[in-house]
Structure formats: structure tokens, C-alpha cells
């Protein structure tokens, strides 16, 4: 029996586990990071160096419920940025934050308290909200840390901290002093289920099914020329609405002066409608075209005059005893309706603005629960009903029946329509209404606040948007459109849990005391006792000494009970956190949130900072999409095959979820499914196995044994060149937030360049040469250099695995205890060798042709016939080449057998087939198989046990 030469081989040896067991072992690593204070040391190191600060400001999630997949996406992207910036030499601290005020939390607390809330004071309710928010801050912090997110978890910011609440009030005071805050009666989004006003950012949109009505308003004031054409028939202005409940508040009908209108005769009646809407109106009202006639064509200005002027004509209300004035408006289009728009200034933004211009009253007969509070008798199908106390959405059908029974409805009572985009409360999930209420507003134009010389907030904000780097670029157009079209900012809320609007009202003249001086005084108290002080103390205890009413000199006041919009709270975080708490100034390098924040935090922060500091609070604003299921719907508990984050963490580990975040293009919506995670896990295994193989071949290597670059083999130099290219591409991708480029670049490099080429070609050298021989040390030097660079380049993404590799890698004297205390790889200039790379591009093309030829000859061992081969090492290859390729192959003749992984490789000059880089002939090698290296290098008939190379190595080992 021949000798067993296995013990003489340098087989890979490492205790780096093949199986990651991520869900278990990640938590041990997290504990080690915490125990050794790796994040703290990372930051302290850069502070000691005086590194340039990089500020990523965390947008605060709500402290309400466990984290979801969108949180994982968001926080992981931020973690990529923070870790990369620190590795790249910046001082990049991550201070996480939480939004702790507002309806989402108060709503949950209300549910928990139930009937007990009735017996509690406002301060007691607020305390319950504070405790609830604090609980979820702690829970979410643990969940984020489980995702291996580095940060100052021991000192996060919360919008309910006393210092933060004081800042909110001080920033409100600055707006008061700017003269652009006012109190007024205006229609706002009203969430009747929560009994509060909502900002645009607190509104979600979805389909809504509702009644729609074509209503006839009697019109007896036609100009003479048109009246003649109508004859003795009854004339009606025809309007259309999907909110019949707003008809009791109707005060006007809007027409566009520039549109073409008609008098359309139908039986004994004549309808005023836009020519461009006629066909749809007739169809939806089930009227045949043959049953109508056109009596007159005219422009809208015949009835309403020019924009901003009007003619004073009016129709009668559809059933109430008042007029409905006809007014000109350019927002009237041919997209829907009749071209004659029902206008209720108490129930719509455009209606309100038009009414304000023409001096109309604001009627809103609906209370905070969306119920009529006036007597409103209607003739329903089952008799007379009074709508007082009836919810408006219930009243719709009765009003439609009433109109039909009075002969004022042109379509059928009960006709319904689906509105594709209707506003819903973001937390109650109930359809909201527009309702005129008295609220506090920040004016986008100063004239609205009665201060024509004041700050033009809209204009200034639009100017600042131009200076920001928006990633992706379409974000700029999106937020510009939103700022251009947004109404004044409604900052008051009719709830308990939030920062107070620190305004008082004079008991003698009802004048509002709204000044920076009052706000600053109250803020000083809040810093000591929290915002509860406003609700707990008397007005006299809260007033600065000597303050009186500027209007009448009165000294007795009543406090405002409304709280501030939570978007104002989070919108001043740059001041509360960056400027005041941390002392970093009021300008962040990066805001990074979901694309819904163009109308949320991005916009509120922009307006709050521009309003008081004159500039945007961020240099770059990056947005990501939403997490969706395979059908493109929001990934939630209703999704098919839904798995909560904790189950995914248990099954796959945080590393796979992090890799999923890196693998997708976050700029659009991101699909998440079990199948996708399985593919990511498969890619991870390839990366991990490559790391493990490299570590295995470095088992005996000491970093001090590394050989000089000049002593490396050309293929070693080639892999260093490729590593340099990959590291540079990865760094460029980090700089441009192109994380999916990093994942795909890494996977391609490790599976193709390293595993399929370099490690395959060098396997013989690593296994069979002397352990400390120069050939093997050269390969180990390259292995170590590649690995040392890659783990640092990938650490921001593969945080667990890169740290694990780092702990198994032998280090030089300057290497720190953690990969996160190292520097991003700055590859030596000598690694970049374009001339060598060009040669290897040709050599690898030849290798592909040779591998194809080998594959054609390869068969399973038991089926092998003469002239065929099993493994490639059974082959003797002859390569035919010409020109530059021939010269190149001759230069590399001594290593071609290793490159092709064959026993013998010859090069001859000759003509090359057109579709190939070279000609290839494959025949079985004539020698005998060496039992140690498996190459057919033993001369036929020789009595040697092993080939000459292996014999020499074994002798030296002995």
C-alpha cells in the first residue's frame, strides 16, 4: 500500500465556522461590542484625531409598537452611512431619536385607559402618555440594536424630554416674533374619530365609496340675451358633488371665465353646464342625447365676469332660503363634474380662498364629531327626518333622497361612485372631512397673517430647496411641488399629549398674547418641570413679571389649551438636538428617510429652519421607497406569507436582512419575501465560504511573513489589482449611497475573480508547496492582503461577518481589536497595474476557451473511453495562437498548466479559429497521477511514488 501523503499537504485549516448560525451568534457579537464599547472607542478615536465631523441626523420614529420592516430598511441604511464614514476617517456619531408626542400615542393610551380617562386630569393623561412612550423607546432601542445598528443608545433624544420641549416652545416664540403666526377660522383636514385637526402629512389616501349627486340650483338671473334663448323654461345651474352633506354650507357656484358653457334644454328645463362635460353628465344622469337640445353657447365670463371681479349674478340655493352667488375661478376644469363647482367656504381650501376674496361668510354646521349641530329637516324616502345629530357620512343618502323628492336631483338618489384618492386619518384610518375651525397657522405668505412686510416662507423655502442635494434627483421636483401648492401650516391640535401652544388670551378683550418673550419665559419653566407645567399651573404663575395685554392693558388671562402639531415638534429637531444638545450647529450633512417624508419631516424641518434661521437644515436629503410584498402592496400583516421582523431575524439573522437592504435599489419600493431572503442567504453563503477558504489557507500565516510586492507571482499581482479596483468602486458607491452596487460588486468579485479564478488557480501552490516556501508565502501574502482590505470595505454592510473574519485574521502591529476601529482600505499605488491587468484579461479569455474545450472532453470517470478525460488534471492541452496572444502565452508558458488546471500545457504557433481567441487541443496526459498533487507528472514506467516537485517538498518536510 502506498504512503498516505495527505498529512504532507497544506490543507485549509481554520476555526472560522462553515455555518454562520447567525440568529444565535450575532447576539453574542452584539454583547461583545457593547462590553468592549466598540462604538464609543470608534467615536473617541476620531475625536482624538480631530477628524472632520459628519452629521447624519436621525428622523425620529414614533415610540409606538414594535419595529417593522420599514424601520429595518431605514435604520440599516443609516448604519451603512455611519460605519462607512467612520472607517473613512470622519467623526460620524449616530444619535437615535424618537417622536413621543401626538395622536398615535395618545390614541393607544386612550384605548388602554378606557373609562378611567374620564376621571383623570389632563396632566394625569399626559403622564400616562409619557410612560407609554418611554416603554416603547426602550423596546425599539433593543430591537434596533439587534439589527447591529451602532449608535449612542444610552443617550438618545426624545421629543418629550424637558430640554427638547423647551426648545419647541422657544422656536414657536421665534415664529411669533417673525409676525407670520396667526389665528383664524379656516377649513382644515378634520379627523372626527380623533376630534382634531390634521396636517397634510398626517393624512393617508385610499379609495372611498360614496354618493354622488347632480344638483339643480334655480337660476333666474340669466343675462337678457341668454334668457331669450331659454324662453319660458325653468333654468338651473347644474353642479356635481361627492359630498352632499356639504350642500347646507353652499354659498356660491364657481365657473371658469375661459371655458365654453351651454344652455342645454331638456323637456321643460334648461341646465347651465360646460360644453366639455356635457356627454358625461348626460350619460351619468341617464339622459339620451336625442332628448336634449343646445339652446345657447357662451363663455363662462358671461355669467361670472373676469377673474377676481365677478358680475354679482346669483342662483337660488337648491332648497334653503338663500342665494348662491356665481363667481369666477380658474381652478374649475373639465376633468370632472359639470364645469359649475359647488362652493362651501367652510368645507374646502379653494372654496375658502375664493370666498375670502369675495367676502363670503364661512358656514360650518358640523361639530367636532362630524355631526350636524343645526336643525336640518329633509324629506327622505321614509318620511321627514332632522339631520341634527346625524353623522355627515350617514346624512349623505338622506340629502340625496331629499333633493330627489324636491325635484332638484338630476341623477338617481343612491347613485354611488368610487373616489380613487380620498383622505383618511393616518392613525384612526377613518375618512376625514374638511371642516372650518379656529386654528393657529404659520403663514406661507405674510399677508395672510396681516404682516405684508414679513417673511415670505414659501418663497424662501423654494429657494433653499434649490441648494440641497436630493437623492434621488426627482425628490427635488416632488418637494417643490408640495411646497408650491401647500396651504398655510396649521400648527394647532385639539388633543392633550404634546407641546403646548404657549399663548394666552386677555380676559377683558380676548386679545391673544403670543410673543417670544412669553414663550422664552415658559420654556425656562419647562426645562425644569417639563411641558406639564403649562397645563398644571395658573396663568398668573406662567406669565413673566409685569406682562400685560398690549391691546387694553389687562392683566388677567386664560391659557390656550391646544397643543402643537407633532410635525412642528420633530421639525425643530435640528435646533433641539444638533444645535442645543450636541452643539454641532443647525446644519446636517444628511437627512435619510422614506419618500413620504417629502410632505412630512423633510418639509416641516425645512420650513421650521428657513423660518427662523434662513436656510435649510440639511445639505443632502436622501429618500428610500416602501417595503412591499411580491404583489407590490405594502408589506404588512395582510400580505401573503407575511413574516414579522422577529421571525425573520430568528430564521435568517440580521446579517441577511442587512444584506437584503444592500442588495436592493432603495430608491423605489423594495420587495420583501421569503423567496428573496433565501436568494440573499444563498449569496451570503458564497461570500462566507470564500472568506472561510481564504482564512483556511492563512491558518499558519503570520502577517510579519508577508513578502514584498516585487516577489509576488503575476497572478497574485493581478488579484491585488482587481482588489484595488473593487475597493475603489465600493468606496465610490458608499460616497454616492449606491449600496446595491457594493453588494453586486462584492458578490461578483468573490464568486468569479476569487473563487472561480484566483483560488482555483493557486490551490496547487497553496496545498502542495512548502508551507514556508516563497511560492506559498507569496500566495498567502496576496490572500491576506485581499482579505484585510475586503473585510474593512464590507464592514458597514456585513458587520457581523467582517468582524468575525477580523477576529480570525492574523494582524500586524497596528491593527486594532475591532474592524470598526480600523480605517477604510487605502490600497497601495503599486497594486494598480493596468498593463498587467490587460495581459490577464487576454490570459483569462484564453482560459475560458481552454475550459470549454476541456468540458467537451470531460465525462464521468466510470464512463470514460480512450481519448476522454475525467478531471481537468488528466489533460494535456496544446494551445494554438498567433500574434500578440502567442507572445503573451510564451511569456507565461511556465504557469499555463496552473492557469488551466491541467497537467501539461504547450503553446504552438498556428492559425486560430475565427470565433475563438486561440485554438485548443485536448488529449489525455501521458504521465501517471501523483497521489499527492493529482497532477499527471510521474514519468510512465517510473518507480517513483510521487512527482519530482512533491518528492522535493516531502523530503524537506521530513
Judge contact between 543 and 504, C-beta under 8 A: yes
Judge contact between 659 and 683, C-beta under 8 A: yes
768 is in an annotated binding site: no
Give 382's contacts (C-beta < 8 A, 6+ positions apart): none
Give 694's contacts (C-beta < 8 A, 6+ positions apart): 754, 759, 783, 786, 787
CA distances from 571 to 164, 597, 602, 616 (A): 12, 11, 8, 11
593 is in an annotated binding site: yes
- Counting every residue written for the chain, the total comes to 958
Distance of CA 424 to the CA centre of its chain: 21
Annotate 773-824 with DSSP letters as a single string. Answer: SHHHHHHHHHHHHHHHHHHHHHTTTSHHHHHHHHHHS---TT--SSGGGS--
Judge contact between 604 and 59, C-beta under 8 A: no
Burial class of residue 239 (count of CB atoms within 10 Å of its CB; 0-12, 13-18, 19+): buried
Cα gap 653→676, rounded to integer Å: 14
Record the cell numbers describing residue 217, joined without a space: 340650483
Record the cell numbers describing residue 343, joined without a space: 362652493
Q: Which residues of 21-46 are buried (b: 16+ CB within 10 A; e: fewer)?
A: ebbebbbebbeebeeeebbebbbebb
CA-wise closest residue to 425 among 635, 210, 199? 199
Record the cell numbers describing residue 66, joined without a space: 414594535
Cα gap 174→168, rounded to integer Å: 10
Cα gap 627→356, rounded to integer Å: 43
DSSP lists the bridge partners of residue 670 as 627
> Strands 56-57 and 588-594, how do they pair?
parallel
CA-wise closest residue to 683 among 707, 712, 713, 652? 652
Tally of CB atoms within 10 A around 552: 13
Q: CA angle, 267 as apex, 263 and 269 as ends, to 5°?
A: 50
640 is in an annotated binding site: no
Provide the phi-psi class of 357: left if phi over 0, else alpha when psi is between -120 and 50, else beta. alpha
933 is in an annotated binding site: yes
Burial class of residue 848 (count of CB atoms within 10 Å of its CB; 0-12, 13-18, 19+): exposed
Record the cell numbers describing residue 338, joined without a space: 359639470
Provide the phi-psi class of 746: left if phi over 0, else alpha when psi is between -120 and 50, else beta. alpha
Annotate 909-957 with DSSP letters as a single string. Answer: E----TTSSSEEEEEE-SSBPPTTT--S-BPTT---SS-HHHHHHHHHH
Residue numbers belonging to the annotated binding site for L-isoleucyl-5'-AMP: 593
Residue numbers belonging to the annotated binding site for ATP: 637
Residue numbers belonging to the annotated binding site: 593, 637, 930, 933, 947, 950
Residue numbers belonging to the annotated binding site for Zn(2+): 930, 933, 947, 950
Amino acid at each position: 500500500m502506498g504512503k498516505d501523503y495527505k498529512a504532507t499537504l497544506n490543507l485549509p485549516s481554520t476555526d472560522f465556522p462553515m455555518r454562520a448560525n447567525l440568529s444565535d451568534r450575532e447576539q453574542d457579537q452584539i454583547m461583545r461590542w457593547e462590553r468592549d464599547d466598540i462604538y464609543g472607542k470608534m467615536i473617541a478615536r476620531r475625536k482624538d484625531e480631530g477628524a472632520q465631523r459628519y452629521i447624519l441626523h436621525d428622523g425620529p420614529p414614533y415610540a409606538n409598537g414594535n419595529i417593522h420592516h420599514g424601520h429595518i430598511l431605514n435604520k440599516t441604511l443609516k448604519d451603512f452611512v455611519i460605519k462607512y464614514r467612520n472607517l473613512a476617517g470622519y467623526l460620524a456619531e449616530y444619535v437615535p431619536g424618537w417622536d413621543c408626542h401626538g395622536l398615535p400615542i395618545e390614541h393607544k393610551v386612550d384605548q388602554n385607559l378606557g373609562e378611567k380617562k374620564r376621571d383623570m386630569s389632563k396632566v394625569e393623561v399626559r403622564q400616562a402618555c409619557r410612560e407609554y412612550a418611554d416603554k416603547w423607546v426602550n423596546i425599539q432601542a433593543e430591537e434596533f440594536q439587534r439589527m447591529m445598528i451602532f449608535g449612542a443608545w444610552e443617550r438618545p433624544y426624545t421629543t418629550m424630554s424637558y430640554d427638547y420641549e423647551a426648545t419647541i416652545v422657544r422656536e414657536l416664540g421665534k415664529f411669533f416674533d417673525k409676525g407670520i403666526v396667526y389665528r383664524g377660522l379656516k377649513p382644515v383636514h378634520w379627523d372626527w374619530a380623533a376630534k382634531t385637526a390634521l396636517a397634510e402629512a398626517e393624512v393617508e389616501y385610499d379609495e372611498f365609496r360614496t354618493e354622488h349627486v347632480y344638483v339643480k340650483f334655480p337660476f333666474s338671473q340669466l343675462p337678457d340675451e341668454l334668457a331669450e334663448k331659454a324662453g319660458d323654461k325653468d333654468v338651473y345651474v347644474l353642479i356635481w358633488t361627492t359630498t352632499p352633506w356639504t350642500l347646507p354650507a353652499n354659498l356660491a357656484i364657481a365657473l371658469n371665465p375661459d371655458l365654453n358653457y351651454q344652455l342645454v334644454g331638456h323637456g321643460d328645463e334648461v341646465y347651465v353646464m360646460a360644453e366639455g362635460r356635457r356627454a358625461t353628465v348626460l350619460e351619468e344622469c341617464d339622459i339620451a342625447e336625442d332628448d336634449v337640445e343646445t339652446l345657447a353657447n357662451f363663455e363662462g365670463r358671461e355669467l361670472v365676469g373676469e377673474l377676481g371681479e365677478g358680475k354679482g349674478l346669483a342662483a337660488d340655493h337648491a332648497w334653503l332660503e338663500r342665494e348662491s352667488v356665481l363667481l369666477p375661478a380658474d381652478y374649475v376644469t373639465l376633468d370632472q363634474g359639470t364645469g359649475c363647482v359647488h362652493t362651501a367656504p367652510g368645507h374646502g381650501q379653494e372654496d375658502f380662498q375664493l370666498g375670502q376674496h369675495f367676502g363670503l361668510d364661512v358656514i360650518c354646521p358640523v361639530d367636532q364629531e362630524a355631526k350636524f349641530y343645526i336643525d336640518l329637516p329633509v324629506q327622505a324616502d321614509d318620511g321627514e327626518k332632522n339631520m341634527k345629530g346625524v353623522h355627515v357620512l350617514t346624512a349623505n343618502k338622506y340629502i340625496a333622497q331629499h333633493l330627489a323628492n324636491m325635484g332638484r336631483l338630476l341623477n338617481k338618489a343612491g347613485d354611488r361612485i368610487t373616489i380613487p384618492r380620498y383622505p383618511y386619518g393616518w392613525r384612526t384610518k377613518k375618512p376625514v372631512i374638511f371642516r372650518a375651525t379656529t386654528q393657529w397657522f404659520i403663514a406661507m405668505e405674510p399677508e395672510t397673517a396681516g404682516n405684508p412686510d414679513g417673511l415670505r416662507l414659501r418663497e424662501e423655502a423654494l429657494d433653499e430647496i434649490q441648494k440641497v442635494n436630493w437623492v434621488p434627483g426627482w425628490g427635488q421636483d416632488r418637494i417643490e411641488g408640495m411646497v408650491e401648492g401647500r396651504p398655510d401650516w396649521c400648527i394647532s391640535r385639539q388633543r392633550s399629549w404634546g407641546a403646548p401652544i404657549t399663548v394666552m388670551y386677555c380676559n377683558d378683550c380676548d386679545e391673544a398674547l403670543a410673543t417670544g418673550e412669553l414663550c422664552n419665559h415658559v420654556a425656562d419653566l419647562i426645562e425644569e418641570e417639563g411641558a406639564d407645567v403649562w397645563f398644571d399651573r395658573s396663568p398668573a404663575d406662567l406669565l413673566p413679571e409685569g406682562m400685560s395685554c398690549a391691546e387694553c392693558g389687562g392683566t388677567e388671562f386664560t391659557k390656550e389649551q391646544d397643543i402643537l402639531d407633532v410635525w412642528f415638534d420633530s421639525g425643530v429637531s435640528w435646533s433641539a438636538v444638533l444645535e442645543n444638545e450636541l452643539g454641532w450647529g443647525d446644519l446636517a450633512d444628511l437627512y435619510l428617510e422614506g419618500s413620504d417624508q417629502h410632505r412630512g419631516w423633510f418639509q416641516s424641518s425645512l420650513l421650521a429652519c428657513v423660518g427662523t434661521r434662513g436656510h435649510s437644515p440639511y445639505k443632502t436629503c436622501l429618500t428610500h421607497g416602501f417595503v412591499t410584498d411580491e404583489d407590490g402592496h405594502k408589506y404588512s400583516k395582510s400580505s401573503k406569507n407575511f413574516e414579522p421582523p422577529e421571525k425573520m431575524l430568528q430564521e435568517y439573522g440580521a446579517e441577511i436582512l442587512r444584506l437584503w437592504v444592500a442588495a436592493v435599489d432603495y430608491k423605489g419600493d423594495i420587495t420583501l419575501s421569503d423567496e428573496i431572503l433565501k436568494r440573499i442567504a444563498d449569496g451570503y453563503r458564497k461570500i462566507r465560504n470564500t472568506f472561510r477558504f481564504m482564512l483556511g489557507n492563512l491558518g499558519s500565516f503570520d502577517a510579519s511573513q508577508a513578502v514584498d510586492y516585487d516577489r509576488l507571482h503575476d497572478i497574485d499581482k493581478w488579484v491585488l489589482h482587481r482588489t484595488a479596483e473593487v475597493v475603489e468602486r465600493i468606496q465610490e458607491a458608499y460616497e454616492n449611497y449606491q449600496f446595491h452596487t457594493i453588494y453586486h460588486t462584492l458578490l461578483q468579485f468573490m464568486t468569479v475573480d476569487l473563487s472561480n479564478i484566483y483560488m482555483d488557480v493557486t490551490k496547487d501552490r497553496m496545498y502542495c508547496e512548502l508551507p514556508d516556501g516563497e511560492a506559498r508565502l507569496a500566495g498567502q501574502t496576496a490572500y491576506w492582503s485581499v482579505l484585510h482590505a475586503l473585510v474593512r470595505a464590507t464592514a458597514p454592510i456585513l458587520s457581523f461577518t467582517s468582524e468575525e473574519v477580523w477576529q480570525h485574521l492574523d494582524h500586524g502591529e497596528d491593527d486594532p481589536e475591532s474592524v470598526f476601529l480600523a480605517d477604510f482600505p487605502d490600497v497601495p499605488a503599486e497594486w494598480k497595474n493596468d498593463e498587467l491587468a490587460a495581459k490577464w484579461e487576454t490570459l483569462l479569455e484564453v482560459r475560458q476557451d481552454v475550459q470549454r474545450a476541456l468540458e467537451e472532453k470531460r465525462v464521468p470517470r466510470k464512463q470514460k473511453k480512450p481519448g476522454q478525460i475525467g478531471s481537468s488534471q488528466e489533460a494535456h492541452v496544446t494551445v494554438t495562437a498567433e500574434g500578440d496572444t502567442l507572445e503573451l502565452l510564451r511569456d507565461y508558458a511556465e504557469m499555463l498548466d496552473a492557469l488551466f488546471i491541467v497537467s501539461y500545457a504547450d503553446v504552438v504557433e498556428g492559425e486560430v479559429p475565427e470565433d475563438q481567441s486561440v485554438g485548443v487541443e485536448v488529449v489525455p496526459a501521458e504521465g501517471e497521477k501523483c497521489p499527492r498533487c493529482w497532477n499527471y507528472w510521474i514519468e510512465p514506467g517510473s518507480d517513483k511514488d510521487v512527482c519530482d516537485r512533491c518528492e522535493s517538498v516531502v523530503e524537506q518536510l521530513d
